[in-house]
Structure 1
Amino acid sequence: MADPRTYGGDDADRRQDSSRRRLYNPYHDLQIPHRTLYDLPTSPEFLFQEESLAERRSWGENLTYYTGIGYLAGSASGASIGLRHALRSAEPGDTTKIRINRILNSCGQDGRRIGNRFGVIGLLYAGLESGMVAARDKDDWVNSVVAGLGTGALFKAANGPRSAAVAGAIGGLMVGAAVAGKQVMKRYVPI
């Protein structure tokens, strides 16, 4: 870190070092507030006033966020499952190259497969939640729970109505538990 006396103000004592030489100050003749030039704001800046009034992400940001989080979480969990499968299927006579190859193939295959599933679930959820907000013109917990119900039902719709109903109920319960947990965290955990 630079010595604070190096780029000091007009004080003669600060512009000289211990050998009484005058130090170079590149901002001396510019007449700009160089000390406050790089103090950036910590709050978000908005281009339009109505953006600052919105208390939630837009539908596009919501879609990108949930899809990305779903794919990332699914890929990480799928890679760990693939690692477990690869380590279980290792044989005593395998060389190190074959074991590493088996691990990489298994992690990549399972990570990609599960990541794609979770990404699709995130995509469906974000689309349904944004649609509910647009249809109801409210942003509350009902939108999230209904989006969870619809996501589960749509994801398993190809397996039949019974499977879709069970998956919808599971999706609604999971989102309801997440919303309730978030409310509890807001209320009892000071952050």
Structure 2
Amino acid sequence: MAVHSSNRDTDSEFDHSSSQPRLYNPYKDLQVPYRNFQLPTSPEFLFDEEARRQRRSWGENLTFYTGCGYLAGAVGGASTGLVSGVKSFESGDTMKLRINRILNSSGHSGRLWGNRLGVIGLLYAGLESGIEAVRDTDDVWNCVAAGLGTGALYRAARGVRSAAVAGAVGGVVVGLAVTGKQMLKRKSML
């Protein structure tokens, strides 16, 4: 094993913005001759197609949107459950009974809203990835079409009118979100 001496302190963090390679020393705390290993500065991929892609895969999208939807729904539902639990207090309730009402109400509402928004995230991720695969392009229209489809599918069991209204709402909401994201991106570039 070759010993490489360096003018740098091996315990300090390296500046990633410079053109210097990232070095890793697995033996830095041991009193043995060591060698610094050069780490890659960019992600490594098995296939060239993965390296050229600039967005998340369908599985990553599925996990991201479903998880974010469930988390947002659980937090929002727990908040509404907290309010309804506090409103259901009666004058003769003990503190233990009041806490129990709040916890039961928050847990019930959190589960309901979390599951609903998680399913919406699941539908949206699947539709967006499917539309992108069919059209073979990545643009704003994929997101809007996925929003339309998600709203329509989510309310399809309640009838055609309800599905159409929910589809329109889903498309508008996603369109506004994408437009807002584009505006923020442009503003941060200036």
Structure 1 equivalent of residue 43 of structure 2: 44
Inter-partner Cα distance in structure 2 for 1:10 and 1:116: 55
Letter in 2 for 1:162: R
Please show how residues 175-186 of structure 1 align to structure 2 within 5 Å.
175-186=174-185
Which residue of structure 2 aligns with residue 90 of structure 1? Answer: 89
2:22 matched residue in structure 1: none
1:91–1:26: structure 2 CA closer, same or farther, 3 Å change rule?
A: closer
Root mean square deviation, CA, Å: 2.3
Distance 1:10 1:46 in 2: 31
- In the alignment, the residues of structure 2 paired with residue 78 and residue 153 of structure 1 have an alpha-carbon distance, to the nearest angstrom, of 23
Q: What displacement does 1:156 show?
A: 0.7
Paired residues for 1:12-51 under 5 Å: 27=30, 29-33=32-36, 43-51=42-50
Higher Rg of the two aligned structures = 1
Superposition pairs of residues 1-191 of structure 1, within 5 angstroms: 27=30, 29-33=32-36, 43-190=42-189
> Which ranges of structure 1 fall in alignment gaps of 5 or more residues?
1-8, 12-24
* Aligned-residue offset at 1:137: 0.5
The one-letter amino acid of 1:104's match is L
Tell me: CA distance 1:53–1:101, structure 2 relative to 1, closer, same or farther (3 Å): same
Letter paired with 1:30: P
Letter matched to residue 94 of structure 1 = D
Question: Residues of 2 paired with 1:107 and 1:41: CA distance?
Answer: 47
The letter of the residue matching 1:172 is: G
How far apart, CA to CA, are the structure 1 residues paired with 2:120 and 2:137?
23
Looking at structure 2, the residues matched to 78 and 168 of structure 1 have their Cα atoms a distance apart, in angstroms, of: 23
* Aligned-partner Cα distance in 2 for 1:26–1:110: 51
**Pairwise CA distance, 1:48:** 3.2
Equivalent AA in structure 1 for residue 128 of structure 2: E
3-state SS in 2 of match to 1:45: coil
Residue aligned with 1:91, SS: coil
Closer, same or farther: CA 47–114 of 1 in aligned 2, 3 Å: same
Letter in 1 for 2:33: L
Give the TM-score taking structure 2 as reference length.
0.80
Q: 1:95 to 1:54 in 2, by over 3 A?
A: same
Question: 1:40: Cα distance to partner?
Answer: 6.0
Q: CA deviation at 1:49?
A: 3.0
Unaligned 5+ segments in structure 2 are 8-27
Aligned-pair identity (%): 62
The whole-number CA distance in structure 1 between the counterparts of 2:65 and 2:160 is 26
CA-CA distance at 1:93 after TM superposition: 1.3
